[in-house]
A and B are shown apart, each in its own frame.
Chain A
Amino acid sequence: MTNANTTAASAARQTPAALSFEGVSFAYPAPEGASDAAAARPVLDGCDLSVPEGAFCLLVGDTGSGKTTLLRLAKPEIAPAGSLDGRVLACGRDVRELDGRASAETVGYVFQNPDSQIVCDTVWHEMAFGLENLAVPEPQMRRRVAEVSYFFGMEPWFSRPTAELSGGQRQVLALAATLAMRPRVLLLDEPTSMLDPIAEKSFASLLQRVNLELGVTVVVATHAPAPLAPFATMAVEVGEGAVRPVEVSALERRGRLADVAREDDAKPADGPRAADARASVRLRDVWWRYGREEPWVLRGCDLDVSAGEVRAIVGGNASGKSSLLSAVAQISRPQRGRVEVADAACQALLPQSPKALLTAESVEEELMEWSRAVGYARGDVLAAMGELGLAEGLLASHPYDLSGGQQQLVALAKVLLTRPRLLLLDEPTKGLDDAARAAVARAVSRVADSGATVLLVTHDLEFVRVCATSVSMIFDGKVISTEPTPEFFETSWLWGVSR
């Protein structure tokens, strides 16, 4: 046991531990036909962790490191199937001995995806769902729902259908609905990875309030700890089957890409990259809206992108970023204005949800799907996977068995293999850990080096800084400024200072 572990253990003795893992080892059942060696390799191997009552604990680690497995073991209803050794205690009791009611009132769990964890059609019904399941009497149910809604300021949208909420609101709803059951420990699995930075920050500060004002012990598994680090009281890194403590202050610096990318010489040279002046994309006075009665999303939008450029489009939610990309991809036809795309005959789009591109039974079939149409071989597939840091062992896996981050990389590899002259990317780094973001930055730079044009829409300004050659800012349905990347960051008040 390391020194830090010993300190954590002695701290745990002073205050009762809200959540503790004692010598926990876990292995998934081996797939049929797998060798014994593969079966024997555990995801977690003798993990000890003690989270004192009232702590705000971050579980960090790369995608696939076992964070989610560790978290789910503390909630037996959703624990993965496999062999478990050791004990998991919540508030001093073995979680496997808790009945349904005790489990709900001890441990709450919030999932990653804001879309699939909402069960009911309206906000009020979603808030009541867990309490209804626990057969809480109606007056008590009203009281609990009212208090949680008051705490989160949800009254303005309490009657709304859940389908109309933004991703950020849905995630707050998932948190509130879990808290209505008044758990003493709250576990969250990558709760902000699908949110934009602003929604992420407000979610993080809500979590801090839950921790400080309600005294709930919070444990968050995340691969991007920087936004949560200021609120955390402790942090552990999960990796190679073990759990080891890390300094919280060290986590605030994570998420920076510059150093990683520079080492690999991915940072673009100052000034435009060997750009010939050939226009690749030209939009003139484009107006677009979803329907006749809807408000305009693009309102007289102009855009010029030259071949060989990596152009980042940045802007807030609902500013029209994704609509602009759809207009360039010619998925949606503008109601007014002209769209000219020089390379429309050889383009590719990575959509915001990678699942939209994934259909095959295995990663190999998936990546080979367009091989005949485009003319590439299995060797190219392996090279593309290597470039993005995807292990060759994944070839046989079903795309849906991969983590969200791996799905994103497979979809990107599939798009890159078509060697597009115009590459359109919608939030390419969503849900990726730092290593994967750096790999994507390198891959995108390479595409542009080959003379193709890249247009990407993103909230990840750090990614923009290392891989874009120019930045357009979109606001109120128009492109309001376009500058080379260094100038954009120098003149930016918002992002310039955070460097």
Chain B
Amino acid sequence: MAGRRHVAFETAHASVPIVYFAGTILLALFALQPVYVALSLAGALAYSLACRGLRATALKLRWQLPMLAIVALANPLFSAQGTTLVLQLGFVRVYAESLAFGLTMGALLAASVLWFENAAATVSSESVLSLLGARMPVVSTMVVMVSQLVPQLMRRSRTVGGALDACTAARTPAAAPHVRAARLSGVLMSWAMEDSLERSDAMRARAWGASERRTTWRRQEFRARDAALLACVLGLIALNALLVALAMQAWWFYPTMAELGWWWGYVPYAALVLLPCALATYDEMSWRSLS
């Protein structure tokens, strides 16, 4: 892939990154506490920089930073809670606690979006489907076909639209936008139906449904190393889930914010969120030492 950088878990079985990202995203969504949110955001950003580079990350942040600002500023306007008054605009009272809540929430949202994007950059749909394929062949075949259908429809709609634009006879008063849209969808629909008939023939010609049982080609085997890695990831997620629950009990925004101090419990979370960046960096370093 052009411009592709170092991706974590590349040589691991697909289940490892899938479990990692599922767990990390869930924790990131629940840990509404400033230190956790800051760590999660830092980890997500660090990995985004490592696997997608500065330019792609900056492009994403262009949308996420305004979102963060909007959530941070809007929260005090809608929820006038807290005790430390920062400023008063007419009837609207802005409290420091409410501002802090908004800021934390905004950062949490931004971090979660980044984590989702990181997951998409690391785990291909192919590997998700390969896990699914063994259990549900019909569903996974359908998902594969639909995922191919959408880009094909887009390409064809451009072809059909272009052909209509290029024929001056089609530019009649009757060719109003809604008529054109109906026509376009009509062409695409019959075209797709025609294809599907042929594709189902092609599937039957290759023994689709010929046998009750179906085997699955796994491109990657689940080896002892994957099991060890998966156990580490699961252990780290479980430990952090416990610690997040503890930390959330010791933290509140309202009416006054609880105090934040140094706690050893942050270390496993930092380890969890920085893991993909560390793996990607290690990969990059080992390449440099090779060349």
- Which A residues form the contact surface with B (CB < 8 A)? 75, 77-78, 99-101, 103-104, 108-109, 111, 113, 115-122, 124-125, 128-138, 141-142, 145, 162-163, 174, 177-178, 181, 326, 329-332, 344-349, 351, 353, 355-359, 370, 372-374, 400, 415, 418, 420, 424
Q: Are B210 and A100 in contact (CB under 8 A)?
A: yes
Give 10 new A-B contacts, CB below 8 A, not counting A133-B214, A356-B156. A78-B205, A116-B194, A119-B199, A125-B144, A131-B217, A132-B214, A133-B211, A162-B148, A331-B162, A370-B167
Given contacts A117-B202, A124-B217, A345-B168, contact A355 B208 (CB under 8 A): no
A237 to B137, CA, bound (A): 42
Given contacts A116-B198, A133-B210, A331-B166, contact A356 B205 (CB under 8 A): no
Q: Using Cβ atoms and an 8 Å threshold, which residues of chain A touch B69? A: none
Please choose the segment from B87-95, B185-193, B225-233 that sits at the chain A interface, where 4 or more of its residues have CB less than 8 A away. B185-193
Can you offer 13 A-B residue contacts whose CB atoms are under 8 A?
Answer: A104-B206, A118-B202, A119-B203, A125-B144, A133-B208, A141-B215, A174-B202, A348-B166, A355-B190, A358-B187, A373-B170, A373-B172, A418-B167
Residue B207 at the chain A interface, CB threshold 8 Å: yes
* Nearest B residue to A426, CB-CB: B163
Instruction: Out of B159, B209, B213, B218, name the residue touching A138 (CB < 8 Å).
Output: B218
Given contacts A120-B144, A128-B217, contact A100 B199 (CB under 8 A): no
* Chain B 133-176 interface residues, beta-carbon cutoff 8 Å to A: 137, 141, 144-145, 147-148, 151-152, 156, 159-160, 162-163, 165-170, 172, 174
Q: Are A117 and B168 in contact (CB under 8 A)?
A: no
* Nearest A residue to B2, CB-CB: A293
Instruction: Out of A121, A138, A424, name the residue touching B148 (CB < 8 Å).
Output: A121
Residue B283 at the chain A interface, CB threshold 8 Å: no
Q: Are B198 and A135 in contact (CB under 8 A)?
A: no
A353 to B187, CA, bound (A): 12
- Which B residues form the contact surface with A (CB < 8 A)? 125-126, 129, 137, 141, 144-145, 147-148, 151-152, 156, 159-160, 162-163, 165-170, 172, 174, 183, 186-187, 190-191, 193-196, 198-199, 201-211, 213-219
Q: Using Cβ atoms and an 8 Å threshold, which residues of chain A touch B183? A: 359
A181 to B203, CA, bound (A): 13
Given contacts A117-B198, A119-B203, contact A347 B210 (CB under 8 A): no
Given contacts A77-B205, A145-B217, contact A134 B210 (CB under 8 A): yes
Q: Are B169 and A418 in contact (CB under 8 A)?
A: yes
A249 to B36, CA, bound (A): 79
Q: Using Cβ atoms and an 8 Å threshold, which residues of chain A touch B198? A: 111, 113, 116-117
Q: Using Cβ atoms and an 8 Å threshold, which residues of chain B touch A103? A: 207, 210
Instruction: Out of A115, A135, A332, A420, name the residue touching B195 (CB < 8 Å).
Output: A115
Q: Using Cβ atoms and an 8 Å threshold, which residues of chain A touch B145? A: 119
Closest 7 CB pairs of A and B: A100-B210, A349-B166, A128-B217, A130-B206, A329-B166, A117-B202, A331-B162
A119 to B210, CA, bound (A): 16
- Smallest CB separation, B199 vs chain A (Å): 5
Q: Are B169 and A124 in contact (CB under 8 A)?
A: no
Q: Are A349 and B167 in contact (CB under 8 A)?
A: yes
Instruction: Out of B141, B191, B206, name the residue touching A355 (CB < 8 Å).
Output: B191
A137 to B211, CA, bound (A): 13
Q: How many A-B contacts at CB < 8 Å in the complex? A: 174
- Smallest CB separation, A138 vs chain B (Å): 6
- Smallest CB separation, A71 vs chain B (Å): 11
Given contacts A104-B207, A145-B217, contact A329 B162 (CB under 8 A): yes
Q: Are A424 and B166 in contact (CB under 8 A)?
A: yes
Q: Are A100 and B209 in contact (CB under 8 A)?
A: yes
Q: Using Cβ atoms and an 8 Å threshold, which residues of chain B touch A117? A: 198-199, 202
A162 to B147, CA, bound (A): 12
Q: Are B215 and A373 in contact (CB under 8 A)?
A: no
Instruction: Out of B163, B199, B205, B215, name the residue touching A116 (CB < 8 Å).
Output: B199
Q: Are B169 and A374 in contact (CB under 8 A)?
A: yes
A117 to B203, CA, bound (A): 8
A155 to B231, CA, bound (A): 34
Q: Using Cβ atoms and an 8 Å threshold, which residues of chain B touch A347? A: 166-168
Q: Are A135 and B214 in contact (CB under 8 A)?
A: yes
B159, B169, B187: most-surrounded residue (chain A CB, <10 A): B169
A190 to B96, CA, bound (A): 74
* Nearest B residue to A415, CB-CB: B167
Q: Are B126 and A121 in contact (CB under 8 A)?
A: yes
* Nearest B residue to A126, CB-CB: B206
Instruction: Out of B174, B211, B217, name the residue touching A125 (CB < 8 Å).
Output: B217
Q: Are B201 and A129 in contact (CB under 8 A)?
A: no
Instruction: Out of B162, B166, B207, name the residue touching A133 (CB < 8 Å).
Output: B207
Q: Are B206 and A351 in contact (CB under 8 A)?
A: no
Q: Are B207 and A134 in contact (CB under 8 A)?
A: yes
A101 to B211, CA, bound (A): 7
Given contacts A132-B137, A326-B162, A351-B162, contact A101 B167 (CB under 8 A): no
A374 to B159, CA, bound (A): 23
A37 to B213, CA, bound (A): 47
Instruction: Out of B129, B172, B213, B217, name the residue touching A142 (CB < 8 Å).
Output: B217
Given contacts A133-B214, A356-B156, contact A370 B163 (CB under 8 A): no
Q: Using Cβ atoms and an 8 Å threshold, which residues of chain B touch A400? A: 190, 193-194
* Nearest B residue to A112, CB-CB: B198
Instruction: Out of A100, A104, A132, name the residue touching B215 (CB < 8 Å).
Output: A132
Q: Using Cβ atoms and an 8 Å threshold, which residues of chain A touch B152? A: 115, 163
Instruction: Out of A77, A119, A131, A346, name the residue touching B168 (CB < 8 Å).
Output: A346
Q: Using Cβ atoms and an 8 Å threshold, which residues of chain A touch B202? A: 111, 116-119, 174
A140 to B78, CA, bound (A): 64
- Smallest CB separation, A294 vs chain B (Å): 10
Q: Using Cβ atoms and an 8 Å threshold, which residues of chain B touch A101? A: 207, 210-211
Instruction: Out of A120, A330, A349, name the residue touching B163 (CB < 8 Å).
Output: A349
Instruction: Out of A100, A132, A355, A418, name the residue touching B194 (CB < 8 Å).
Output: A355
Q: Using Cβ atoms and an 8 Å threshold, which residues of chain A touch B195? A: 113, 115-116
A330 to B195, CA, bound (A): 29
Q: Using Cβ atoms and an 8 Å threshold, which residues of chain A touch B169? A: 348, 370, 373-374, 418, 420
